């Protein structure tokens, strides 16, 4: 709904820029063009032009924009978009050319789209099909760029990991099969970042990790005093729905669970105090605690917000709310941040 949402989104974005006044800014987008990208990709160019030419961004005299718009390429399309804005006060900034293996000074504003495979200023990869075979054509992958500001080099990686295909399957095991798929894909990206082809530098990985709460543990906690009813398909005997009812209180329905339904009667539990009570079930990053660091989470679950813009603070009842969208970093990047804040 670009006519409806773009103006509001940009206003919020400009307010954040004005409040923080960053010298170097990275904006990572996933699912560029939306779910109906063949029809909607035409709106993307208008969005980019507005962003680059707006009065709010006039102090950013250099920019790099990388858009994977080549949706006709089933083999390569990731729908990722990475924007980088450099403030005029920033003097010496260089970007790494992965093909020439050397840094180049950043000047002017440049937009790269359609086929990013031929752009030497980034690395882009779509995950192999066999990572998530039940999804016929996934758009998941990553884009990596490398920067150097006054002799400080770092990688910025825009990532989109695999989703949960079924709430019922996610509920069956702990940890779920889907978290295992995400674990494999994220491990693949981290191994690529630190392999032997290039010098190792600090790195930040941010985007849609699709991390989910441990579904089995969440349901068992939210419905600890409930009784469960199982509904099966008449023809296949397959479980198609689970209904959790309070043992007393007129057997009030607390939770209904289907493949694409997570209907819990009280959404406030996910919003109160930024959902802190549920953070203990956010466990997918623990596998990478030796490789990745994250600042404390101080925002409510970022997914799945309603797609009805008039209900922007409501969650859809399709999935259990979770902290899908994150900023993670290497331990050397964490040290850089701490050094900057104390020195």
Q: How far apart are CA 144 and CA 120, in angstroms?
A: 11
- Is 86 inside a domain boundary? yes
Total structural domains within the chain: 1
- Tens of pLDDT along 39-89? 888 888 889 999 999 999 999 999 999 999 888 888 889 999 999 999 999
Sign of CA dihedral 98, 99, 104, 109: negative
- Is 59 inside a domain boundary? yes
- Is 115 inside a domain boundary? yes
Question: Domain of 46?
Answer: 1-212+283-292+324-341
Paired tokens of 103? 């840094």
- Is 245 inside a domain boundary? no
- Is 144 inside a domain boundary? yes
- Is 68 inside a domain boundary? yes
Q: What is the reported pTM?
A: 0.94
Give the pLDDT score at 274: 95
Query: What is the chain's alpha carbon radius of gyration, rounded to the nearest angstrom?
Result: 22
Give the pLDDT score at 152: 92
CA torsion, points 298, 170, 183, 282, in degrees to nearest 10?
20
Main-chain dihedrals φ then ψ at residue 238, nearest 5 degrees: -75, 140
User: Residue 10: enclosing H or E segment and its boundaries?
Assistant: helix 2-20
Q: Using the 8-state DSSP alphabet, how is residue 314 labeled?
A: S
- Tens of pLDDT along 78-136? 999 999 999 999 999 999 999 999 999 999 999 998 778 889 999 999 998 888 877 76
Task: Write b or e for each residue in 102-111: b if 16 or more Cβ atoms lie within 10 A of its Cβ, otherwise e.
Answer: eeeebeeeee
- Is 261 inside a domain boundary? no
Place of tokens 């035409």: 42
- Is 242 inside a domain boundary? no
CATH of the domain at 65: 3.60.10
Please compute the mean of the pLDDT values over residues 243-253 and round it to a whole number: 90
- Tens of pLDDT along 197-229? 999 999 999 999 999 999 999 999 999 999 999
């Amino acid at each position: 709904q670009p006519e409806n949402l773009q103006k509001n989104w940009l206003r919020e974005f400009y307010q954040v820029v004005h409040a923080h006044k960053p010298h170097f800014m990275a904006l990572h987008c996933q699912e560029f063009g939306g779910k109906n990208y063949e029809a909607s990709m035409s709106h993307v160019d208008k969005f980019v032009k507005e962003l680059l030419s707006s009065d709010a961004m006039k102090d950013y005299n250099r920019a790099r924009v990388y858009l994977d718009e080549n949706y006709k390429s089933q083999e390569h399309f990731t729908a990722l978009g990475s924007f980088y804005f450099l403030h005029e006060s920033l003097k010496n900034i260089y970007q790494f050319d992965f093909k020439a293996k050397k840094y180049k000074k950043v000047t002017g504003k440049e937009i790269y789209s359609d086929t990013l495979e031929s752009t030497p200023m980034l690395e882009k990869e779509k995950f192999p099909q066999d990572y998530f075979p039940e999804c016929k054509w996934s758009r998941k992958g990553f884009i990596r760029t490398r920067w150097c500001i006054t002799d400080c080099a770092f990688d910025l990686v825009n990532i989109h990991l695999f989703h949960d295909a079924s709430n019922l399957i996610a509920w069956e095991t702990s940890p779920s099969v889907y978290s295992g798929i995400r674990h494999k894909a994220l491990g693949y990206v981290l191994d690529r970042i630190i392999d032997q082809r290039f010098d190792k530098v600090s790195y930040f990985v941010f985007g849609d990790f699709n991390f989910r709460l441990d579904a089995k543990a969440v349901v068992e906690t939210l419905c600890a005093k409930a009784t469960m009813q199982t509904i099966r398909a008449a023809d296949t005997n397959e479980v198609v729905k689970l209904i959790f009812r309070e043992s007393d209180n007129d057997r009030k329905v607390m939770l209904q669970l289907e493949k694409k339904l997570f209907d819990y009667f009280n959404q406030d539990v996910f919003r109160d105090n930024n959902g802190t009570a549920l953070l203990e079930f956010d466990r997918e990053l623990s596998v990478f605690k030796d490789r990745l660091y994250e600042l404390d989470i101080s925002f409510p679950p970022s997914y799945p917000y309603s797609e009805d813009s008039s209900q922007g603070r409501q969650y859809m009842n399709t999935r259990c709310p979770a902290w899908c969208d994150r900023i993670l970093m290497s331990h050397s990047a964490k040290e850089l941040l701490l050094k900057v804040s104390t020195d």
